Amino acid sequence: MFLRRAFLGLLSGLAIAATVSVPAFAESGSVLQSILSNGKLRVAVLGSLPPYATVGADGVPVGYDIEIAKKLAAALKVDPEFVVTDIPSRVTSLQTGKVDVTIADFTRNVERSTSVAFSNPYVVTNMRLLVPASAPYKTIDEANAAKIRVAISRGGTAERAVPAHMPNAQLVRFNTQADELSALLSGQVDAMAEDDFYNRKAISDNAGKLRQVDGSLARAEIAIGVPAGDADWLRVVNLFVDQFNASGDNKALFKTWFGFDQPALQAQY
């Protein structure tokens, strides 16, 4: 309730500005005004990254990121419209105006921030190596020395993080994390690099088959992506994220989808 009241307070102020000069908002291409006028929030989501998001046999997206998108849409009093995308297209979907936000396990960093804007994070985690339970290496250095094949996502954080820590590794690129995990379980690769929370869920879902290697490849601050250059829209999204984190809603959703308590939103080492 507190989240909604605070959120509507900000929207009311922005709505007043919009009614004073609606043409100005339209001419400037305001994302916020477009959302409110059209009554829908277009959201880029991933389709094969449980428990963040996945698309079932019925074609309906479900998952942690999906529920966050629904809460944002509800706070705006509009309907969510999901656009399933892949990892490389998370940026271009925003740049081309195909979507209003990207809520898709989207790690913010300086390179991406030259093309799109990011909210404050709603998840902070680390990228780690996921390996078969029988793998002989216990640390990143041992895995690097073994010159292993590491599955990574095209356009993902691992494309830089793995070579920085494992220059001897052979990178094997995939379009989805589901394909990475399938390759790992079938022995096509020796490891995959993904965030700690995804890895922990994969370990739980494949009892006795997988484990993580000690050490972090990179810190991952997962945030909502928005088009660059729209301060009003970013301000609204940031307020949503801040209140979502503070209200307890985030912790509750996280526990529901991941099955364990969400660590504090600070550096996880």
pLDDT digits (tens, 9 = 90+) for 211-266: 999 999 999 999 999 999 999 999 999 999 999 999 999 999 999 999 999 998 86
Does the pLDDT at position 14 exceed 80? no
Does the pLDDT at position 53 exceed 90? yes
Length of the chain: 269
The pLDDT of 78-84, averaged and rounded, is 98
Does 3.40.190.10 match the CATH number of domain 2-123+221-258? yes
Q: What is the pLDDT of residue 5?
A: 54
Q: What is the pLDDT of residue 18?
A: 39
Q: What residue ranges of the chain are covered by domains with CATH 3.40.190.10?
A: 2-123+221-258, 125-219
The structure's pTM equals 0.85
Superfamily in which the 125-219 domain is placed by CATH: Periplasmic binding protein-like II (3.40.190.10)
Percentage of the residues of the chain whose pLDDT score is greater than 70: 88
Does the pLDDT at position 6 exceed 80? no
The pLDDT of 23-45, averaged and rounded, is 80
